[in-house]
Structure 1
Amino acid sequence: MSHSGARAARGFTLVEIAIVLVIIGLLLGGVLKGQSLIDNAKIKNVIQQSTSLQAAVNAYQDKFRALPGDDAQATAHVPGTSGNGNGDGQIAEYQLAPQHLALGGFITGSFNGSTDFMTSAQGGAVYIYNDVIAGRGGNGIRFDNLPDSFSEQLDSKLDDGKPDTGAVRATGPYTNNGTIVTRTAVFF
Protein backbone atom coordinates (compact mmCIF):
# COMPACT_ATOMS: atom_id res chain seq x y z
CA MET A 1 0.00 0.00 0.00
CA SER A 2 1.38 3.36 -0.98
CA HIS A 3 1.65 6.35 1.25
CA SER A 4 -0.77 8.46 -0.88
CA GLY A 5 -3.49 5.76 -0.73
CA ALA A 6 -3.51 5.80 3.08
CA ARG A 7 -3.75 9.56 3.12
CA ALA A 8 -6.78 9.60 0.76
CA ALA A 9 -8.82 7.43 3.14
CA ARG A 10 -8.27 9.81 6.04
CA GLY A 11 -11.40 11.60 7.48
CA PHE A 12 -11.97 15.09 8.84
CA THR A 13 -10.03 16.23 11.86
CA LEU A 14 -11.74 17.50 14.98
CA VAL A 15 -10.50 21.01 14.19
CA GLU A 16 -12.08 20.92 10.71
CA ILE A 17 -15.38 19.66 12.12
CA ALA A 18 -15.30 22.35 14.82
CA ILE A 19 -14.69 25.07 12.21
CA VAL A 20 -17.64 23.81 10.11
CA LEU A 21 -19.90 23.74 13.19
CA VAL A 22 -18.88 27.29 14.13
CA ILE A 23 -19.66 28.49 10.58
CA ILE A 24 -23.06 26.73 10.64
CA GLY A 25 -23.79 28.28 14.04
CA LEU A 26 -22.91 31.75 12.78
CA LEU A 27 -25.11 31.30 9.71
CA LEU A 28 -28.06 30.09 11.81
CA GLY A 29 -27.55 32.94 14.27
CA GLY A 30 -27.53 35.43 11.40
CA VAL A 31 -30.71 33.97 9.91
CA LEU A 32 -32.50 34.02 13.28
CA LYS A 33 -31.33 37.58 13.98
CA GLY A 34 -32.47 38.59 10.50
CA GLN A 35 -35.93 37.14 11.14
CA SER A 36 -36.06 39.00 14.44
CA LEU A 37 -35.20 42.26 12.66
CA ILE A 38 -37.94 41.63 10.08
CA ASP A 39 -40.50 40.93 12.82
CA ASN A 40 -39.45 44.08 14.73
CA ALA A 41 -39.85 46.15 11.56
CA LYS A 42 -43.36 44.70 11.04
CA ILE A 43 -44.31 45.47 14.65
CA LYS A 44 -43.04 49.04 14.32
CA ASN A 45 -45.04 49.36 11.09
CA VAL A 46 -48.24 48.16 12.83
CA ILE A 47 -47.69 50.64 15.68
CA GLN A 48 -47.00 53.47 13.21
CA GLN A 49 -50.11 52.50 11.22
CA SER A 50 -52.23 52.66 14.37
CA THR A 51 -50.83 56.07 15.31
CA SER A 52 -51.27 57.43 11.77
CA LEU A 53 -54.85 56.19 11.51
CA GLN A 54 -55.74 57.75 14.86
CA ALA A 55 -54.25 61.05 13.67
CA ALA A 56 -56.21 60.78 10.40
CA VAL A 57 -59.49 60.13 12.26
CA ASN A 58 -58.82 63.10 14.56
CA ALA A 59 -57.99 65.37 11.61
CA TYR A 60 -61.15 64.27 9.76
CA GLN A 61 -63.21 64.91 12.88
CA ASP A 62 -61.61 68.34 13.39
CA LYS A 63 -62.26 69.36 9.80
CA PHE A 64 -65.78 67.98 9.28
CA ARG A 65 -67.09 67.61 12.87
CA ALA A 66 -67.93 63.97 12.12
CA LEU A 67 -66.23 60.58 12.23
CA PRO A 68 -65.10 58.98 8.97
CA GLY A 69 -67.52 56.27 7.93
CA ASP A 70 -70.19 57.65 10.27
CA ASP A 71 -70.27 61.09 8.57
CA ALA A 72 -73.91 61.80 7.61
CA GLN A 73 -72.73 64.50 5.16
CA ALA A 74 -69.76 62.65 3.66
CA THR A 75 -70.98 63.02 0.07
CA ALA A 76 -70.75 66.80 0.54
CA HIS A 77 -67.54 66.72 2.59
CA VAL A 78 -65.59 64.28 0.40
CA PRO A 79 -67.00 64.20 -3.14
CA GLY A 80 -66.81 60.81 -4.83
CA THR A 81 -67.65 58.77 -1.76
CA SER A 82 -70.07 55.92 -2.19
CA GLY A 83 -72.21 56.85 0.79
CA ASN A 84 -72.95 58.65 4.01
CA GLY A 85 -72.94 57.25 7.52
CA ASN A 86 -75.84 57.65 9.93
CA GLY A 87 -74.14 60.23 12.17
CA ASP A 88 -74.76 58.39 15.45
CA GLY A 89 -71.15 58.64 16.65
CA GLN A 90 -70.47 54.93 16.22
CA ILE A 91 -68.36 53.82 13.25
CA ALA A 92 -70.50 50.84 12.30
CA GLU A 93 -69.99 51.91 8.67
CA TYR A 94 -66.43 50.56 8.75
CA GLN A 95 -66.29 49.97 5.00
CA LEU A 96 -66.88 53.67 4.33
CA ALA A 97 -64.29 54.89 6.85
CA PRO A 98 -61.12 54.31 4.77
CA GLN A 99 -62.85 55.71 1.68
CA HIS A 100 -63.83 58.90 3.53
CA LEU A 101 -60.28 59.29 4.88
CA ALA A 102 -58.64 58.65 1.50
CA LEU A 103 -60.95 60.95 -0.48
CA GLY A 104 -60.46 63.62 2.19
CA GLY A 105 -56.69 63.36 1.75
CA PHE A 106 -56.01 62.05 5.25
CA ILE A 107 -54.60 58.66 4.16
CA THR A 108 -53.31 57.23 0.91
CA GLY A 109 -54.99 54.47 -1.00
CA SER A 110 -58.09 53.82 -3.02
CA PHE A 111 -61.10 52.27 -1.33
CA ASN A 112 -64.50 51.59 -2.93
CA GLY A 113 -66.52 51.88 0.30
CA SER A 114 -67.85 48.35 0.19
CA THR A 115 -65.32 45.54 -0.30
CA ASP A 116 -61.88 47.13 0.02
CA PHE A 117 -60.11 47.13 3.36
CA MET A 118 -56.75 48.18 4.72
CA THR A 119 -54.11 45.62 5.69
CA SER A 120 -51.36 45.58 8.29
CA ALA A 121 -47.68 44.77 7.81
CA GLN A 122 -48.54 41.26 8.97
CA GLY A 123 -51.17 40.95 6.22
CA GLY A 124 -54.34 40.90 8.31
CA ALA A 125 -57.26 43.26 7.77
CA VAL A 126 -57.34 46.66 9.50
CA TYR A 127 -60.63 48.41 10.25
CA ILE A 128 -61.69 51.70 11.76
CA TYR A 129 -64.66 50.30 13.57
CA ASN A 130 -67.03 50.37 16.53
CA ASP A 131 -66.57 47.01 18.21
CA VAL A 132 -66.54 45.24 21.57
CA ILE A 133 -63.32 43.42 22.42
CA ALA A 134 -62.34 41.96 25.81
CA GLY A 135 -65.15 43.75 27.61
CA ARG A 136 -64.58 47.21 26.15
CA GLY A 137 -66.67 48.75 23.41
CA GLY A 138 -66.33 51.83 21.28
CA ASN A 139 -64.66 53.28 18.22
CA GLY A 140 -61.14 52.18 17.46
CA ILE A 141 -58.69 50.69 15.05
CA ARG A 142 -58.94 46.93 14.80
CA PHE A 143 -56.13 44.69 13.61
CA ASP A 144 -57.17 41.16 12.64
CA ASN A 145 -55.02 38.04 12.86
CA LEU A 146 -51.85 39.36 14.47
CA PRO A 147 -49.40 36.95 16.10
CA ASP A 148 -49.78 37.23 19.87
CA SER A 149 -46.27 38.65 20.22
CA PHE A 150 -47.23 41.49 17.84
CA SER A 151 -50.43 42.19 19.80
CA GLU A 152 -48.50 42.19 23.07
CA GLN A 153 -45.88 44.63 21.79
CA LEU A 154 -48.58 46.88 20.31
CA ASP A 155 -50.32 46.83 23.70
CA SER A 156 -47.07 47.39 25.63
CA LYS A 157 -45.98 50.33 23.50
CA LEU A 158 -49.38 52.05 23.35
CA ASP A 159 -50.97 50.96 26.64
CA ASP A 160 -50.50 48.68 29.65
CA GLY A 161 -49.41 45.38 28.03
CA LYS A 162 -52.48 43.48 29.29
CA PRO A 163 -54.98 42.07 26.76
CA ASP A 164 -58.10 42.76 28.83
CA THR A 165 -57.50 46.24 30.31
CA GLY A 166 -56.78 49.71 29.03
CA ALA A 167 -57.22 51.23 25.58
CA VAL A 168 -55.65 48.30 23.71
CA ARG A 169 -57.62 45.06 23.95
CA ALA A 170 -57.16 41.62 22.43
CA THR A 171 -59.44 38.62 22.03
CA GLY A 172 -56.87 36.27 23.50
CA PRO A 173 -54.00 36.13 25.99
CA TYR A 174 -50.42 36.94 25.07
CA THR A 175 -48.62 33.60 25.19
CA ASN A 176 -45.67 34.36 22.87
CA ASN A 177 -45.96 30.92 21.31
CA GLY A 178 -47.07 32.06 17.85
CA THR A 179 -50.79 31.94 18.56
CA ILE A 180 -52.83 34.21 16.30
CA VAL A 181 -54.97 36.81 18.06
CA THR A 182 -58.08 37.17 15.92
CA ARG A 183 -58.80 40.79 16.92
CA THR A 184 -56.68 43.45 18.58
CA ALA A 185 -58.21 46.90 18.99
CA VAL A 186 -56.76 50.28 19.83
CA PHE A 187 -59.73 52.25 21.16
CA PHE A 188 -59.86 56.02 20.88
Structure 2
Amino acid sequence: MHNHTKQTGFTLVEIAIVLVIIGLLLGGVLKGQGLIDSAKVKNIIQQSTSLTAAVNAYQDKFRALPGDDPLATTHVPGATGNGNGDGQIAEYQLAPQHLALGGFITGSFNGTTDFMTSAQGGAVYLYNDVVGGRGGNGVRLDNLPDGFAEQIDSKLDDGKPNTGSVRANVGGAVNPAATYTTNGAIVTRTAVFF
Protein backbone atom coordinates (compact mmCIF):
# COMPACT_ATOMS: atom_id res chain seq x y z
CA MET A 1 0.00 0.00 0.00
CA HIS A 2 1.33 3.24 -1.13
CA ASN A 3 -0.22 6.40 0.14
CA HIS A 4 -0.02 8.96 -2.66
CA THR A 5 -0.91 12.53 -1.88
CA LYS A 6 -1.69 14.88 -4.70
CA GLN A 7 0.33 18.07 -4.63
CA THR A 8 -1.41 21.27 -5.65
CA GLY A 9 0.09 24.57 -6.73
CA PHE A 10 0.33 27.00 -9.58
CA THR A 11 1.72 26.03 -12.91
CA LEU A 12 4.24 28.22 -14.67
CA VAL A 13 1.57 29.22 -17.18
CA GLU A 14 -0.76 30.40 -14.42
CA ILE A 15 2.03 32.39 -12.76
CA ALA A 16 2.94 33.95 -16.12
CA ILE A 17 -0.68 34.99 -16.71
CA VAL A 18 -0.88 36.61 -13.28
CA LEU A 19 2.39 38.51 -13.90
CA VAL A 20 1.10 39.75 -17.26
CA ILE A 21 -2.11 41.00 -15.62
CA ILE A 22 -0.15 42.77 -12.87
CA GLY A 23 2.08 44.38 -15.52
CA LEU A 24 -0.93 45.62 -17.47
CA LEU A 25 -2.48 47.08 -14.32
CA LEU A 26 0.73 48.86 -13.37
CA GLY A 27 1.12 50.19 -16.90
CA GLY A 28 -2.43 51.53 -16.81
CA VAL A 29 -1.87 53.24 -13.47
CA LEU A 30 1.37 54.87 -14.64
CA LYS A 31 -0.23 56.03 -17.91
CA GLY A 32 -3.18 57.40 -15.94
CA GLN A 33 -0.83 59.35 -13.67
CA GLY A 34 0.88 60.79 -16.75
CA LEU A 35 -2.48 61.98 -18.09
CA ILE A 36 -3.35 63.57 -14.75
CA ASP A 37 0.02 65.36 -14.63
CA SER A 38 -0.40 66.57 -18.21
CA ALA A 39 -3.85 67.97 -17.39
CA LYS A 40 -2.41 69.80 -14.36
CA VAL A 41 0.35 71.34 -16.50
CA LYS A 42 -2.22 72.49 -19.09
CA ASN A 43 -4.34 73.99 -16.31
CA ILE A 44 -1.34 75.85 -14.85
CA ILE A 45 -0.40 77.22 -18.29
CA GLN A 46 -3.99 78.33 -18.88
CA GLN A 47 -4.07 80.00 -15.45
CA SER A 48 -0.81 81.84 -16.18
CA THR A 49 -2.04 82.98 -19.59
CA SER A 50 -5.38 84.13 -18.14
CA LEU A 51 -3.67 86.07 -15.35
CA THR A 52 -1.36 87.78 -17.85
CA ALA A 53 -4.39 88.74 -19.96
CA ALA A 54 -6.20 90.02 -16.84
CA VAL A 55 -3.19 92.18 -15.88
CA ASN A 56 -3.06 93.61 -19.41
CA ALA A 57 -6.81 94.33 -19.39
CA TYR A 58 -6.56 96.01 -15.97
CA GLN A 59 -3.62 98.10 -17.19
CA ASP A 60 -5.51 99.08 -20.37
CA LYS A 61 -8.56 100.15 -18.38
CA PHE A 62 -6.94 101.92 -15.43
CA ARG A 63 -3.43 102.77 -16.73
CA ALA A 64 -1.90 101.02 -13.73
CA LEU A 65 -0.90 97.52 -12.68
CA PRO A 66 -3.11 95.59 -10.27
CA GLY A 67 -1.63 95.71 -6.79
CA ASP A 68 0.56 98.66 -7.78
CA ASP A 69 -2.43 100.90 -8.70
CA PRO A 70 -2.21 104.11 -6.61
CA LEU A 71 -5.94 104.77 -7.22
CA ALA A 72 -7.22 101.23 -6.77
CA THR A 73 -9.72 102.15 -4.04
CA THR A 74 -11.28 104.56 -6.56
CA HIS A 75 -10.95 102.29 -9.61
CA VAL A 76 -12.27 99.13 -7.92
CA PRO A 77 -14.56 99.96 -4.99
CA GLY A 78 -14.03 97.62 -2.08
CA ALA A 79 -10.26 97.42 -2.51
CA THR A 80 -8.51 97.42 0.86
CA GLY A 81 -5.47 99.33 -0.32
CA ASN A 82 -3.63 101.19 -3.02
CA GLY A 83 -0.22 100.52 -4.50
CA ASN A 84 2.61 103.02 -4.80
CA GLY A 85 2.46 103.36 -8.60
CA ASP A 86 6.15 102.61 -9.22
CA GLY A 87 5.45 100.04 -11.96
CA GLN A 88 6.53 97.09 -9.85
CA ILE A 89 3.98 94.70 -8.37
CA ALA A 90 5.54 94.54 -4.93
CA GLU A 91 2.01 94.73 -3.48
CA TYR A 92 1.37 91.13 -4.51
CA GLN A 93 -1.34 90.55 -1.91
CA LEU A 94 -3.45 93.38 -3.33
CA ALA A 95 -3.06 92.29 -6.97
CA PRO A 96 -5.62 89.43 -7.01
CA GLN A 97 -8.07 91.55 -5.00
CA HIS A 98 -7.83 94.41 -7.52
CA LEU A 99 -8.32 92.00 -10.43
CA ALA A 100 -11.27 90.22 -8.80
CA LEU A 101 -13.04 93.44 -7.76
CA GLY A 102 -12.49 94.81 -11.27
CA GLY A 103 -14.14 91.73 -12.76
CA PHE A 104 -10.98 90.48 -14.51
CA ILE A 105 -10.74 87.21 -12.54
CA THR A 106 -13.10 85.21 -10.36
CA GLY A 107 -12.64 84.69 -6.65
CA SER A 108 -12.66 86.65 -3.46
CA PHE A 109 -9.42 87.97 -2.00
CA ASN A 110 -9.05 90.06 1.17
CA GLY A 111 -5.88 91.86 0.05
CA THR A 112 -3.76 90.63 2.95
CA THR A 113 -3.68 86.88 3.48
CA ASP A 114 -5.58 85.29 0.57
CA PHE A 115 -3.59 84.02 -2.38
CA MET A 116 -4.25 82.09 -5.56
CA THR A 117 -3.21 78.45 -5.98
CA SER A 118 -2.25 76.35 -8.99
CA ALA A 119 -3.63 72.98 -10.06
CA GLN A 120 -0.62 71.46 -8.29
CA GLY A 121 -1.58 73.24 -5.06
CA GLY A 122 1.31 75.71 -4.81
CA ALA A 123 0.83 79.43 -4.36
CA VAL A 124 0.43 81.69 -7.40
CA TYR A 125 1.39 85.36 -7.20
CA LEU A 126 1.44 88.38 -9.47
CA TYR A 127 4.74 89.70 -8.28
CA ASN A 128 7.87 91.65 -9.12
CA ASP A 129 10.58 89.18 -8.26
CA VAL A 130 13.95 87.81 -9.37
CA VAL A 131 13.71 84.20 -10.57
CA GLY A 132 16.36 82.31 -12.52
CA GLY A 133 18.52 85.40 -12.88
CA ARG A 134 15.82 87.68 -14.30
CA GLY A 135 13.79 90.30 -12.47
CA GLY A 136 10.49 91.94 -13.29
CA ASN A 137 6.73 91.60 -13.07
CA GLY A 138 5.26 88.21 -13.77
CA VAL A 139 3.16 85.28 -12.66
CA ARG A 140 5.10 83.37 -10.03
CA LEU A 141 4.27 79.71 -9.44
CA ASP A 142 5.63 78.21 -6.23
CA ASN A 143 6.56 74.61 -5.39
CA LEU A 144 6.08 72.86 -8.72
CA PRO A 145 7.65 69.48 -9.45
CA ASP A 146 10.61 70.07 -11.78
CA GLY A 147 8.92 68.06 -14.53
CA PHE A 148 5.96 70.46 -14.41
CA ALA A 149 8.26 73.50 -14.48
CA GLU A 150 10.11 72.08 -17.49
CA GLN A 151 6.89 71.37 -19.40
CA ILE A 152 5.62 74.90 -18.72
CA ASP A 153 8.94 76.37 -19.82
CA SER A 154 9.02 74.20 -22.96
CA LYS A 155 5.46 75.05 -23.96
CA LEU A 156 5.66 78.79 -23.27
CA ASP A 157 9.35 79.51 -23.90
CA ASP A 158 12.64 77.75 -24.62
CA GLY A 159 12.74 74.91 -22.06
CA LYS A 160 15.78 76.37 -20.27
CA PRO A 161 15.39 77.53 -16.66
CA ASN A 162 17.76 80.52 -16.88
CA THR A 163 16.89 82.08 -20.25
CA GLY A 164 13.83 83.58 -21.89
CA SER A 165 10.57 84.79 -20.38
CA VAL A 166 9.94 81.66 -18.28
CA ARG A 167 12.51 81.20 -15.52
CA ALA A 168 12.90 78.74 -12.67
CA ASN A 169 15.09 78.48 -9.60
CA VAL A 170 16.76 75.17 -10.41
CA GLY A 171 19.52 73.80 -8.24
CA GLY A 172 19.87 76.74 -5.88
CA ALA A 173 22.06 79.63 -7.07
CA VAL A 174 21.77 81.02 -10.57
CA ASN A 175 23.79 78.77 -12.83
CA PRO A 176 23.83 79.42 -16.59
CA ALA A 177 24.35 75.70 -17.22
CA ALA A 178 21.47 74.60 -14.94
CA THR A 179 18.91 72.22 -16.41
CA TYR A 180 15.71 70.64 -15.24
CA THR A 181 16.27 67.23 -13.67
CA THR A 182 12.73 65.79 -13.98
CA ASN A 183 13.55 63.60 -10.99
CA GLY A 184 10.63 64.84 -8.91
CA ALA A 185 12.54 67.61 -7.13
CA ILE A 186 10.48 70.65 -6.17
CA VAL A 187 11.22 73.94 -7.93
CA THR A 188 10.52 76.59 -5.32
CA ARG A 189 9.86 79.38 -7.82
CA THR A 190 8.91 79.39 -11.48
CA ALA A 191 8.01 82.70 -13.11
CA VAL A 192 6.33 83.63 -16.37
CA PHE A 193 7.45 87.22 -16.92
CA PHE A 194 5.28 89.71 -18.80
**Shared fold, TM over 0.5:** yes
Tell me the residue number matched to 1:159: 157
Write the mapping of 1:96-135 to structure 2, written as runs, cut at 5 A. Answer: 96-135=94-133
CA distance in 1, matches of 2:143, 2:93: 18
CA distance in 1, matches of 2:126, 2:51: 8
1:52 maps to 2:58: no
Q: 1:186 is matched by which residue type in structure 2?
A: V
Greater fraction of residues in helix:
1
Pairwise CA RMSD: 1.1
Q: 2:182 is matched by which residue type in structure 1?
A: N
CA distance in 2, matches of 1:98, 1:110: 8
Tell me the residue number matched to 1:32: 30
CA distance in 1, matches of 2:184, 2:24: 25
Q: CA deviation at 1:2?
A: 7.1
- More moved, 9-18 vs 88-97: 9-18
Q: CA deviation at 1:11?
A: 1.2
Q: Deviations over 1:36-55 (max 9, x none)?
A: 11111111111111101001
Q: How many residues align?
A: 185
Q: 2:107 is matched by which residue type in structure 1?
A: G
Tell me the residue number matched to 1:138: 136
When normalised by structure 1's length, the TM-score is 0.96
When normalised by structure 2's length, the TM-score is 0.93
State the secondary structure of the residue aligned to 2:88.
coil
* Gap runs ≥5 in structure 1: none
CA distance in 2, matches of 1:29, 1:2: 47
CA distance in 2, matches of 1:162, 1:84: 36
Q: CA deviation at 1:15?
A: 1.0
Q: Deviations over 1:101-151 (max 9, x none)?
A: 001111111100000000011111000000111221110000001011111
State the secondary structure of the residue aligned to 2:140.
strand
* Gap runs ≥5 in structure 2: 171-178
Q: CA deviation at 1:18?
A: 0.8
